[in-house]
Amino acid sequence: MSDPIKPKCCTRIFGGYRYNSCSRAGTVERDGKHYCRQHDPIAISEARERRSAKYQLAFEESMKIRRLHAAAPELLEALEQAVTSMQDSGYSDNHVTVKAARDAIAKSKGETK
């Protein structure tokens, strides 16, 4: 009994001046075609989706930071007004909220204690 012919990966790879067949074994079958694990279209699609999701998260985080930076001047001004208003209303400098706000304002201005 002869050894059955093992299928090869059907992917064609550009080798600089012409296309060559992938030399790996076709271990995965998709729609009647054989692929190696590297060229498996489902695995490629899943990897692409994982990368896309990762970049989408990074993009959303980047946009969140950009929006915060864009709003920073208004946030600082509003916080300074809130502190002034609280102090005018009788809150002491040692009130926990006033102190936290003043610390945040100092930090935003690069003032360290």
| Contact set for Zn ion, span 46-85 (CB under 5 A) | none
The four Cα atoms 26, 30, 32, 33 give a dihedral, to 10 degrees, of -40
- The footprint of Zn ion on residues 5-44 (CB under 5 A) is 9, 11, 22, 24, 36, 39
Work out how close the CB of 1 gets to Zn ion at its nearest, in angstroms, rounded to a whole number: 28
State which residue, 36 or 83, has the beta carbon closest to Zn ion.
36
Q: Is 39 exposed, middle or buried (0-12, 13-18, 19+ CB in 10 A)?
A: buried
Q: Cβ 38 to Zn ion, closest distance in Å?
A: 5
Size of residue set near Zn ion by CB under 5 A: 6
Positive/negative CA dihedral, 80, 86, 88, 91: negative
Closer of 39 and 83 to Zn ion (Cβ) = 39
CA distance 25 to 10: 9
Interface with Zn ion (CB under 5 A): 9, 11, 22, 24, 36, 39
